[in-house]
Amino acid sequence: MPSLTPPVPKLPIYGQPSSDGRRHWQSLDALAAEPATAPSPEFPEGADSPPDGLARRTFLQILGASTALASLDACRPPRQKIIPYVRPPEKPLLPNTAVHYASALTLNGYATGVLVTSYDGRPTKVEGNPDHPSSLGGVGMHELATLLDLYDPRRAKGFRRGQSTLAYRSLLRELSALAATHQADGGARLRFLLGANASPLLAELKKRIQQRFPRARFHAYEAAGHDAEREGARLAFGRALDVRHRLDEARVLLSLDADFLCHGPDGLRLAREFSAHRESGPEMSRLYVAEAHLSVTGAAADHRFRLKPSEVLGFGRAVAARLASTHGLGALAPLVGPTRLAREANAVADDLFRSRGRSLVLAGSRQPAAVHALAHALNAALGNAGRTVEYAPAVYDEATGPGELAALAADAAAGKIDTLVITAANPVYTAPGDVDLAAALAKVPNTIYLALREDETSPRCTWNLAAAHPFETWGDARGHDGTVSIVQPLIQPLFESLSEVEVLASFVDAADAGAWTILRESWQRRRGGGNFAGDWDRWLARGVVPDTATVAEPAAPRFDAVAAAVRAAPASAAGLEASFVPDTKLLDGRFAENAWLQELPDPITKITWDNAAYLAPATAKKLGVENGSKVELRLGGNKIEAAVWTVPGHAEDVVTLPLGYGRRRAGPVGTGVGFDVAPLRTAATPWFAPGLAVAPLGRAKHAFAPTQEHFSMEGRDIALLFDAKAFGPEKIEHLRGPVPTIQKPVDYSKEPYKWGMGIDLTKCTGCSSCAVACQAENNIPVVGKEQVLRSREMNWLRIDRYFTGSPEDPQLVAQPMMCQHCETAPCEYVCPVNATVHSDEGLNEMVYNRCVGTRYCSNNCPYKVRRFNFLDYRGDMSPTEKMVMNPDVTVRTRGVMEKCSYCVQRIERARIGSRVEGRKIKDGEFTTACAQACPANAIVFGNLADPESAVSKLHQSERRYDVLHELGTRPRTAYLVRLRNPNPELT
Amino acid sequence: MATYVLAEFKDEAALCAAARRMRELGQKQLDAYSPVPVHGIDEALGLPKSKVPLIALIGGLSGAVGGYVMQWWMNGVDYPLNVANRGAHAPPANIPITFESAILLASIAIVLAVILLSGLPRLHHPVFDVEGFRTASLDGLWLSAEVPAAEGEGVVRELQKLGATQVERVAEEQR
Amino acid sequence: MSATRTNTALDRKGLDELEGAPVLVGRPSDKELTHELFQPVWGEMRRGWLALFGICVGVSGLLFAAIGYTFAKGIGAWGNNIPVAWGFGIINFVWWIGIGHAGTLISAILLLFQQKWRTSINRFAEAMTLFAVMQALLFPLIHLGRPQFFWWLFPYPSTLGVWPNFKSPLLWDVFAVSTYFTVSLLFWYVGLLPDLAALRDSSKKRGARIAYGIFALGWKGSAKAWRHYRIAYLLLAGLATPLVLSVHTIVSFDFAVSQLPGWHTTIFPPYFVAGAIFSGFAMVLTLIIPARKVFHFEHVITQRHLDNMAKVLLATGLMVSYGYMCEHFIAWYSGNKYESFVFFQTRQRGPFAPVYWLMMFCNVIVPQIFWSKRLRENLMVVWVASILVNVGMWTERFNIIVTSLHRDFLPSSWAMYRPTWVDWSIFVGTLGFFGALFLLFLRFVPSVSASEVKELRRELDHEAHAIAHPPAHGVGRGG
Amino acid sequence: MSALFRPRANTAFRLVLILLGGGAVGALGGAMIWARVPAGTGQQEPLLQPVQFDHRHHVVDDGIDCRYCHTSVERGPSAGIPSTALCMNCHAQIWNKSPRLEPVRESYFSGQPIPWVRVHRLPDFVYFNHSIHIAKGVGCETCHGRVDQMPAVEQVAPLTMSWCLECHRNPKPFLRPLDQVTTMGWTPQGDPAALGRELEKKYEVHSRTSCTTCHR
């Protein structure tokens, strides 16, 4: 792949001062040396690196391969080879030592800053970038799981036009020639369909293309975009504004169907700010959520109002009515309307008013613009604007909704398009039922599709180009607040591929320079003068370009326009309503081929490897169906088949249908998993529509694979939930403190460290980032649906979900559960071979290489957190799949028990590092993967021997208790009871 | 070279009486053979008490001591580990194996003792050269005397006199 | 159970009335006994035997194929999961070990208690013990995740410098079961020596004679050897008796020492031992009733033997029932919510409730029929009941292991257990393997100890004599 | 008169029994011995390398310190194998025509690395870190032996777990002053035991035997 080699880019390491010295970087893919893709079986790029001789040559792991590809092999294998550098890089990387690079990942338009851990040139882990305003150090499941996509051996490779394969150079030549044919009519028959992306570079390229082809048109499409937010702001304020919530100021929150803690461009930051104010006391915030399906945010709510999606607007209007009538907020008077939950609406309104200026109304992206406008009006009337909510010029303002796609399809079907470039994510699959994009594409002579994988759209397109993974290419991106990040590659493309930047650049004949040059020159122009090279290095090192955030500006809503829109919105109709939601894990289906996410239990239902038609138990009863029943769903003229699953707390007469499943052409992971609900959507009603008909099919039941089948605590003190006002430490006195024992407790005070963990259930939203982070950090295998059905999932960290109260309006607790590192661990004394014992610092160690697999430890573990390699889950890894392995963690073989180790590899790294330097490990110097990922700071890890450490403080909290304390296991992981802050008027 | 004189008797009383008589006559190398143990034959032949119980005791004691010491040394001394906060040397947990190893060693000692003390394994023995001796394991009662070749004839006569139903002489073969 | 023979006030007739049928019908001579008891060994192959053996070998083939498949695929071939990390493997292990208790018990304990009715069935029962323990021994090995490292369970000096964990009940198990197997084998073999010698001296074919001769080690039945042998056999019995009790006690520790509700119970050791005897005797009955018929051993293995065994079933069945009662009572009385949940919710009303009720039926209800003498005398009834008891004891282990595990402390981790075809193949396969070994035993080894029956006949003669003249009669072999 | 067995059967049978028993014991014992002898552990096996690199010459004659080539030994888990460029630092000037160094030049100019044969290999589940050992005064020689006397490098230590434990349980006899870490043939001055105690204290040596020290 000589042509793909970026010239001489360099990668300043995160957190290190950068130098102006030229440090050159090429790739390390000899690790991957796949005969199929490499020109010569070994060291392909050694042979074809640029002649300046400064590029870094192959570095095959010096000690790495053995550990990276570790298996527990007892025999004496043949002598291995050690492959050193030919010429070391100027600043050689220490072999087998992690370095972190800052980059950014864009999802649905906006970027989240990440730090990527790289071993010997292999990215192995994604962390949040604490310097990035949308991450603050937290990271979401999608950013984490992106890594797995990078190494997917079934990614698209190379470039195809029709049946013929194109090399990189000839592809660029042909694209260039194709572009030239559009020159004559100014590109009138040239169209682009892009995904949402606020990237300045893409914007610039679009501008350049537009200059060359003034009549060419750009469309944007996201199956689950944020159009309504932008539209709502435009409606309310008359201009394109981004809404920036400031939850650190908010004390009373009303979410109108907004799953802001999980979905949304700023979810990580909002989760952190929200959780920061869930401490008991007068400052404890209160969250009301009006929604149909239980969302992560709904599960965190103090009060949930179960409403059809179409009723949410009415609820908001009723709140407005109370505010207008009782509290004298006259401006809201034109907005008022009725709701069936009047008592609740009144109470919410009273509460919002009491905290005016410190309250906040949020609207969900599935709700129409009118609801967003209503929220703006409410916030303005309550005096929240400028305090708990800010408005700033839109970072990205293009229509990305299904309307755009419908218009494009219509033009295509009418034969108005000769060339269509598609970089949007799989539009043929995500298109609503009434947009026949597949048929329309057939009418376009040249359809150029850039995608990471072959998917439903690929066969409909005449050109299929393999897209480079974000970790393989250069680019830029903007966070929700406008902060720019440079996207830098961590590895040379594993497969022949190119980036969106290069595709667009080829239409202005600029692709030859490569993404790096295009990007750098673009920023050089923008920055102008100064010490650009130095700035550039600093941007890369820090992961953000300073002073690029948008500045908030005052904005006042036009109440009359809002009122008009609100009144024009259709009223809620009786009968069954279909409600479409982007799936928590797969979103619109773009992560369907990601096995980590497929196997991750849904945060609420705990279902893996499936979606379902979710409905309330009462509705299910009415329809005569139960969990697993197959049904036919009809809406408008369209119908699909699906299986139902009941969810306590789901609104009645609504069927929630998550997008992203039922992929027909995804790959071995995602194809045929779940049910495709997109055919029921229409461009006009993409998110909810009345008139759904459900007919049970009465056939054999669908086998769902939930990781948790029982959601009641059976009256046991497991995940504790108290009303903040009713809680006192005496209520949990029996769940902590010393237990009577005949064993003299081991004295851990001789060691400088005593590791422990604290998990604050009040902060935990159950978003599941930690579970994916753990999977990535600890080389945890994916086992597949069959094995999950057999209850053999491997996640070391699971998030237990308990429902209490009535099935109609349950209260929920999410409880991250992993090895508790009991000081008197029941697992240890039953192991016949001493494969699980205690360390001098109190860790419950699991020694894989000693384990013979009696599984007795698991039987005796009251928390059932041990995982067993029932089958060889690692046997048939491709070379690239092996590259995702963390070389610091042994890859477990078949027949071995495993479990959470408190990320002991990180402990040992930190210990060795500090001891070589002759100092002690500082609190916060490192933490476990789960704690690091947690957007809500719910998990804290550290040294209990240090009374000042964060974890010690959690352990001393009056909310602290031990799970199954009465067993006397003395766990090192303490939980803090979950507190709710209900409104006394509603209880 | 020794000669074995074998005599079959038709009942136990006769066998015991013959044995006693032969011993009175100064025969030392006597033995009796029967499909089941014969009452009183031990005294008749003047056999000492068996050493098997002592050997069993030694085996059992060394099993118990060895078993316990093994556990104490391996878990408590050589590689003490913190296993679930239990002491590295945990006496109550060591009881079962101490007991089992005592039984095991005692049993093995007993079996080895009974085999070796009985002069087994010995597939061939001069007495097997007598075809009729095959009844000894089925329903016959035999008495044997190991005598110098020269005395053989006298012993044969003596045994016939004691009521043996048949008497055979067999010389120990050169090995 | 039976009148002691020191009760000399009763005459022979009275004794017989009290004890029921005689332990030996008639007074056959040594020659007759030799002839009868060795007939199955001397005789030609029978077609029925061959057919049965063929079936059993076929089923054993299934066992080894399933084991091979397990080794190739991993434990994932079974239905085990988390939380039910032990499934059929350990159920079968405990079940077979339990069955393997009757032999040594009959031999050793009844010998110590001088029960004459032991004599005709002890060889049979001991062989059954050995073969059952062999089945059981398979499981600790094949249920390992990494069976290739099974030897790490033994305390040998390794270059790793690490040792096994002597605090683990599984390690106790390793010692207990291997000791039990070794001692049972030695006990059986020592008991077999005189008969092997007898076969050496009586077999028709020279090849057979040589084979038996090698195993007989040159046993001549000499008084010098008998002198050691008698005391050794008695000592072995004396050692085997506590061993039997200890082995199932230790097996029960696998459960009792853990803290899982449903396992963590102090009643387990006695209740497991009683259960083991219960199932062991049931298995002896299941096997001996047809064998006795086929080999015409009715006058050696008499109605008296069967009757006594049925009574043992009743007695141990009552003990097992008492164990169940205790478990439930303590679960309620202790107020432990986890334990009472297991006993009053999970077992009785959970998804495996049918197994629980089947266990209750087979182990508590079925033995009650043995209160009736008439039913005890009906061979068919006894045979069917013995099979039901075996089924019941298997379901008991299922209840203890699977039902307790599948719903423990945290409801979030509750899950179902579904055995796979491999689980069933291994279970059924062990039955076939056991059957094959047992058929080999019936064919090549005297299934009733000829030398001991001969001795018994002498004892009975003495007794008859002693009715009139209370003697200081000698003990039998080891007696 | 025909006994079933001949007299010599006694000896033969006893011999067979002894052989069976002895064979079983011998097989087990043999395996245990094999795991401990150099042939079994891979010690004392000088390996043929693609370049005939002679440590004797470089260390003794040229007096090059270990760290000149094994650059990351003080900072990272692995000591590091020198790049071809490092060889060429000197060999561009001296011996630059030697046919023995042809593979080095070949590598340098073609960009193909030299495939050295690994001498010391720990199992994949063992995480050994050079830097901490160097920082606490464990000499190169302690594990790697007198490399300065090896024409071709061989493994001198058994690299078994019990060998590791020997030092981790009592590191004192194996410590040396930090400035002597790379010295070959260093012997302590004065009382070795006292020096060991002193160094252990001075460097805060805290060797651990918890499993996760090495297995993660």
Q: Please report residues of C whose CB lies closer than 8 A to that of B136.
A: 201, 220-221
> Which single residue is written with the structure tokens 């539009």?
A427
Tell me which chain D residue has its CA closest to the CA of residue C157: D32
A912 close contact with D: CB closer than 8 A: yes
Q: Which of B96, B103, B125 sits opposite C172 (nearest CB)?
A: B96
Q: How far is CA A941 from the centre of its chain?
A: 22
Tell me which chain D residue has its CA closest to the CA of residue B171: D1
Q: Which of B34, B38, B113 sits opposite C232 (nearest CB)?
A: B113
Burial of A55-74, coded b for 16+ CB within 10 Å and e otherwise, reads bbbbbbbbbbbbbbbbbbee
B118 close contact with C: CB closer than 8 A: yes
Over residues A83-88, mean pLDDT: 79
Which one of B36, B39, B170 makes the best mutation probe of the C interface by having the most chain C beta carbons within 10 Å? B36
- Cβ pair D114:A70 closer than 8 A: no
Please answer whether residues A335 and A566 qualify as being in contact, where contact means their C-beta atoms are separated by less than 8 angstroms.
Answer: yes
Cβ pairs bridging B and C (under 8 Å) = 202
- 3-state DSSP assignment of residue D16: helix
Instruction: Give residue-wise pLDDT tens across range A493-519.
Output: 899 999 999 999 999 988 888 889 999
- Cβ pair B118:C29 closer than 8 A: no
- Cβ pair D4:C160 closer than 8 A: no
- Cβ pair B104:C231 closer than 8 A: no
Reply yes or no on whether the pLDDT at B14 is more than 90: no
Residues forming beta bridges with residue A941, ordered by sequence position = A757
Which two structure tokens, joined as six digits, stand for C327? Answer: 């478990």
In this predicted structure, what is the pLDDT of residue A662? 92
In this predicted structure, what is the pLDDT of residue C468? 59
**DSSP letters spanning chain B:** -EEEEEEEESSHHHHHHHHHHHHHTT--SEEEE-SS--TTHHHHHTPPPPSHHHHHHHHHHHHHHHHHHHHIIIIIIIS--BBTTB-SS-HHHHHHHHHHHHHHHHHHHHHHHHHHHTT-S-S--GGGGSGGGGGGGTT-EEEEEEEEGGGHHHHHHHHHHTT-SEEEEEEPPP-
- 3-state DSSP assignment of residue A300: coil
The three-state DSSP-derived secondary structure of chain C is CCCCCCCCCCCHHHHHHHHCCCCCCCCCCHHHHHHHHHHHHHCCCCHHHHHHHHHHHHHHHHHHHHHHHHHHHCHHHCCCCCCCCCCHHHHHHHHHHHHCCHHHHHHHHHHHCCCHHHCCCHHHHHHHHHHHHHHHHHHHHHCCCCHHHHHHHCCCCCCCCCCCCCCCHHHHHHHHHHHHHHHHHHHHHHHHHHHHHHHHHHCCCHHHHHHHHHHHCCCCCEHHHHHHHHHHHHHHHHHHHHHHHHHHHHHHHHHHCCCCCCCCCCCHHHHHHHHHHHHHHHHHHHHHHHHHHHCCCCCCCCHHHHHHHHHHHHHHHHHHHHHHHHHHHHHHHCCCHHHHHHHHHHHHHCCCHHHHHHHHHHHHHHHHHHHCHHHHHCHHHHHHHHHHHHHHHHHHHHHHHHHHHHCCCCHHHCCCCCCCHHHHHHHHHHHHHHHHHHHHHHHHCCCCCHHHHHHHHHHHHHHHHHHHCCCCCCCCCCC
Min Cα distance A127 → chain D (Å) is 21
In this predicted structure, what is the pLDDT of residue C449? 83
- Cβ pair C411:A711 closer than 8 A: yes
- Mean pLDDT, all residues of chain A: 86
User: Which residue stretches of chain D have pLDDT < 50?
Assistant: 1
In this predicted structure, what is the pLDDT of residue C467? 67
Which one of B124, B170, B173 makes the best mutation probe of the D interface by having the most chain D beta carbons within 10 Å? B124
Min Cα distance C388 → chain B (Å) is 33
- Cβ pair B90:C223 closer than 8 A: no
pLDDT-wise least confident of A50-64, A924-938, B15-29: A50-64
Over residues A460-483, mean pLDDT: 92
Over residues B2-13, mean pLDDT: 83
Q: Please report residues of B whose CB lies closer than 8 A to that of A746.
A: 82, 85
Q: Please report residues of D whose CB lies closer than 8 A to that of B131.
A: 1-2
In this predicted structure, what is the pLDDT of residue B43? 82
ipTM for the predicted complex:
0.91
Q: Which of A47, A80, A88 sits opposite D118 (nearest CB)?
A: A80
Q: Please report residues of A whose CB lies closer than 8 A to that of B82.
A: 746, 837-840
CB atoms within 10 A of CB A162: 9
Reply yes or no on whether the pLDDT at A164 is more than 60: yes
Q: Please report residues of D whose CB lies closer than 8 A to that of B6.
A: none
In this predicted structure, what is the pLDDT of residue A735? 92
Min Cα distance A709 → chain C (Å) is 7
Instruction: Give residue-wise pLDDT tens across range A670-716.
Output: 999 999 999 999 988 899 999 999 999 987 899 999 999 888 988 89
C407 close contact with D: CB closer than 8 A: no
Over residues A759-771, mean pLDDT: 92
Instruction: Give residue-wise pLDDT tens across range A715-736.
Output: 899 999 999 888 989 999 999 9
Q: How far is CA A605 from the centre of its chain?
A: 17
Q: Please report residues of A whose CB lies closer than 8 A to that of B84.
A: 822, 824-829, 838
Residues forming beta bridges with residue A252, ordered by sequence position = A286, A359
Q: Which of B50, B84, B101 sits opposite C228 (nearest CB)?
A: B50
Higher pLDDT, D126 or A26: D126
C209 close contact with B: CB closer than 8 A: no
User: Which residue stretches of chain C have pLDDT < 50?
Assistant: 1-15, 17, 473-479
Which two structure tokens, joined as six digits, stand for D204? Answer: 């805060």
The rounded percent of chain B whose pLDDT value lies above 70 is 98
- Cβ pair A868:C75 closer than 8 A: yes
Over residues A799-805, mean pLDDT: 92
Neighbours of chain C (3+ CB pairs under 8 A): A, B, D
In this predicted structure, what is the pLDDT of residue A8? 39
Q: Please report residues of C whose CB lies closer than 8 A to that of B42.
A: 223, 227
A748 close contact with D: CB closer than 8 A: no
